[in-house]
């Protein structure tokens, strides 16, 4: 099948590459010429495990190609995926200008039947706006061409996006005509050979499903963080509480880890957008407002602990920081807790020496030539002359470090662990003053 994917970010590039990998002929469009140049030179503009090999393999096989030409893209694929960004607007709502621009380009240049698939995370009702935008362009041309609009939200975790696409838990298809539904069944056939995973529903329900999923996961995270903060005041251990409730099959184990808050391109943006959607329709989503407020406070939790230990004035203090990305296996720092921690330390006069396996270039882009922020190539190189170690991202290489060396190299053997990676009893054994989140 011929497929066009508009957008070469996490969603678009992963979707295009994986669809090509099962034999489809895929053309990816991006108006950012630098991104297309990187792709055509054999690289990828993002960090995602396993993606580079798939892209290179399918480019070499002739199944995956790239363009900056909207006309070529609109004329290429029968299925047109829209996978562009929907950044938050000033009021917290999703900004649809890129989605609607993509839809208008399709309507302006399409030359036959098209299934236009909203892959971006979009508010309920976007399908209607996409349909109207395409219809307006066709009318302006005087063209009478049939098309369908489908909602097919993505459920890809950054750091595991390739595996999530190739082995999906479910495939949500919001569509209201049989022709489009059958094409989507054909398209996703290779990804559900074991059993049926495709759930067909109306477009608006599919759009809401995506927001509901992310909002639920964000809620679990903020709930556990609130309990962790309570556990500290009660003398309880949130890790033991996590095991106690996670073993209940009605609750399960996923997204029950306390920490220093969630970030990334999805949860913060989607919670804000859903709250705004509720507000616009006269529904005050009180739980999600609390989730958002709790997460904002949790990102400052590590700094609160640092201040409680070292005082409000951190002038002359130096902190080693492990982890810049909002989660492991990505270089994404959008809304990352590390950004709040670093800024708050700066505000109090401290300097930071940071290490992250893949996100340091992104940090340099965000912070620029910042004299208070230095970078090192190995985690242990951040420790000399540091007053404490602050852990913000739970990379695997941080799981079992040389604790004796940490205690010996730091100016003071103090560790602030924002991801509860270590056992407090082990830390005590090595003489390390340890501060976790909700740990006794």
Catalytic residues: 266
Residue 24's CB: how many other CB atoms inside 10 A? 19
**Nearest by Cα to 273 from 227, 208, 338, 325:** 208
Query: Measured between alpha carbons, how far is 407 from 388 in angstroms, rounded to an integer?
Result: 10
Which H/E stretch holds residue 114? Answer: strand 114-118
**Torsions phi, psi for 405 (to 5 deg):** -70, -40
DSSP characters over 202-261: -HHHHHHHHHHHHHHHHHHHHHHHHHHHHHHHHT--HHHHHHHHHTSTTT-STT----S-
- Please identify which residue in the block is written with the tokens 């990998």: 21
Query: Measured between alpha carbons, how far is 301 from 260 in angstroms, rounded to an integer?
Result: 6
Query: Measured between alpha carbons, how far is 217 from 296 in angstroms, rounded to an integer?
Result: 16
**What is the three-class DSSP state of 271?**
helix
214 CB burial (10 A radius; 0-12, 13-18, 19+)? buried
- Is residue 299 within 8 A of residue 340, CB to CB? The reply is yes
């Amino acid at each position: 099948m011929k497929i066009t994917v508009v957008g070469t970010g996490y969603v678009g590039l992963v979707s295009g590459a994986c669809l090509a990998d099962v034999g489809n002929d895929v053309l990816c469009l991006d108006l950012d010429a630098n991104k297309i140049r990187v792709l055509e030179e054999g690289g990828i503009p993002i960090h995602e495990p396993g993606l580079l090999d798939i892209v290179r393999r399918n480019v070499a096989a002739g199944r995956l190609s790239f363009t900056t030409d909207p006309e070529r893209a609109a004329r290429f694929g029968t299925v047109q995926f829209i996978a562009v960004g929907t950044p938050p607007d000033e009021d917290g709502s999703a900004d649809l200008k890129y989605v609607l621009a993509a839809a208008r380009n399709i309507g302006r240049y399409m030359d036959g039947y098209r299934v236009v698939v909203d892959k971006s995370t979009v508010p309920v009702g976007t399908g209607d706006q996409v349909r109207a935008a395409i219809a307006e362009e066709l009318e302006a041309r005087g063209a009478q061409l049939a098309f369908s609009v489908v909602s097919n939200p993505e459920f890809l975790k950054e750091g595991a996006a390739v595996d999530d696409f190739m082995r999906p838990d479910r495939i949500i298809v919001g569509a209201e005509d049989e022709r489009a539904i059958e094409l989507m069944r054909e398209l996703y056939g290779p990804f559900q050979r074991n059993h049926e995973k495709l759930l067909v529903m109306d477009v608006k329900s599919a759009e809401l499903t995506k927001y509901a999923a992310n909002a639920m996961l964000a809620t679990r995270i903020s709930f556990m963080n609130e309990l962790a903060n309570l556990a500290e005041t009660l003398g309880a251990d949130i890790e033991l509480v996590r095991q106690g409730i996670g073993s209940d099959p009605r609750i399960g184990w996923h997204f029950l880890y306390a920490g220093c808050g969630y970030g990334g391109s999805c949860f913060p943006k989607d919670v804000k957008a859903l709250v705004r959607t509720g507000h616009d329709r006269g529904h005050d989503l009180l739980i999600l407002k609390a989730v958002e407020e709790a997460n904002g406070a949790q990102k400052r939790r590590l700094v609160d602990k640092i201040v409680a230990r070292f005082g409000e004035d951190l002038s002359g203090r130096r902190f080693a920081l492990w982890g810049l990305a909002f989660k492991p296996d990505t270089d994404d720092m959008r809304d990352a807790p590390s950004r709040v921690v670093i800024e708050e330390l700066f505000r109090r006069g401290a300097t930071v020496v940071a290490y992250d396996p893949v996100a340091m270039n992104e940090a340099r882009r965000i912070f620029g030539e910042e004299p208070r922020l230095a970078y090192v190539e190995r985690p242990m190189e951040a420790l000399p002359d540091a007053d404490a170690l602050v852990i913000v991202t739970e990379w695997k290489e941080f799981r079992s470090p040389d604790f004796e060396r940490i205690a010996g190299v730091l100016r003071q053997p103090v560790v602030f662990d924002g991801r509860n990676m270590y056992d407090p009893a082990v830390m005590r054994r090595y003489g390390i003053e340890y501060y976790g989140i909700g740990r006794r």
